[in-house]
Amino acid sequence: MLLLMLMLLLLMMMMMMMVMVMVAVMAVGGVGVLLLLLLLLLLQQQQQKQKQVEIQKIQKYKMLNIQQQQQQQQQQQRLLPPPLYITAAAAAATAAAATAATAAAAAAAARLMMILLL
């Protein structure tokens, strides 16, 4: 009978040890799950930061591209031929100068002819 009681006590102690081991394993597993969740949270935050940096780079490049386009447009406007009225005015001034020169040359030739004839 005593032997039976000792075996029962030993069995209960083994069961208690098994329960304690199971509780320890579950606790370690719970800590592992918490660490895994923390790691996933950190990875998600890092990805969000990377996305924000990428968005900022894209916005910066867009702003630079817009500025370059504006500068190119300004340079193209500088290189465009002058408007038609400026061209027409320059042509009229050139024609007037040529006419005045021709008239002066004709007057000088007439004077020379008059001098030669007299």
Angle at 62 between CA 61 and CA 64, to 5 degrees: 65
Percent of all residues in the chain with a pLDDT value above 90, rounded to a whole number: 24
Which pLDDT tens digit goes with each residue over 49-60?
999 999 999 999
pLDDT for residue 80 is more than 70:
no
pTM listed for this prediction: 0.42
Q: How far apart are CA 23 and CA 29, in angstroms?
A: 10
Q: How far apart are CA 116 and CA 28, in angstroms?
A: 130
60's tokens: 């910066």
Q: Which helix (H) or strand (E) holds 89?
A: helix 84-117
How far is Cα 71 from Cα 77, in angstroms, rounded to an integer?
10
